[in-house]
Amino acid sequence: MVYSEQVDGAFCIACAIFSAHPTRGQLVTKPFRVWNKKSEKVQEHEKCLYHQSALEQADRLRQTVEHSESSIVAQVDACRAANITRNHEVLKSIARAVLFCGRQCIALRGDVERIIEMNDTFVSGNPWNFLALLKLLAVNDDVLRSHLEAPAMKCATYISPQTQNEVIEVIGKHIILRSILDDLNAALYYTILADEITSHNTEHLAICA
């Protein structure tokens, strides 16, 4: 119970906060001032179901404040942070696979556009080099293996042709090109080599600095 100097009366703080209702009367919505009947009123109030319910709600609030890490919001935030960290690790492995295929000048795609189960020993057709490499990397990478077998979201597997192209674009524009520009800016002199080829009736000009 708490005493209010403003209204010169006592209230049950738990009920006043969690069970306030016009019909509850004294100790809840109205101050209690009959001091000579305090014991009887308090004992009667303690037996009320709404008082017991209010105490339970007050206790849950206290536990939430004292142990904020166990609150639903905290658990959701922790789960979200864990998913972000997990996705970062998965994207690192995917970027390594794309970069490997590029450095070795091998095509990323083939005939089979899916990850073959980890225990498959024979697969008809030609699986994508990119997907086959991811399968190989997953043997010793539990995070990648878990993602390939059961991604958190079916719409975010990060192994589609669109994602591959996006990774290639990021590596080309923001890593390789930046490295070339840094070298050119640091050099006093540099030369440019050009070589032209024709493929499928289309001319391609490659420039190397």
The pLDDT, as a whole number, for residue 98 is 92
Among 160, 56, 147, 44, smallest CA distance to 113 is for: 160
Two tokens, residue 186: 């640091």
143 alpha-carbon distance from chain centroid: 14
Answer for the pair 109, 126: CB distance below 8 angstroms, yes or no.
Answer: no
The pLDDT, as a whole number, for residue 66 is 76
Answer for the pair 20, 28: CB distance below 8 angstroms, yes or no.
Answer: yes
From first CA to last CA, the distance across the chain in angstroms is 82
pTM > 0.85: yes or no: no
In the chain (209 residues long), the average pLDDT of successive 10-residue segments reads 85 85 78 87 87 88 72 72 88 92 87 56 62 89 88 83 90 87 86 84 80
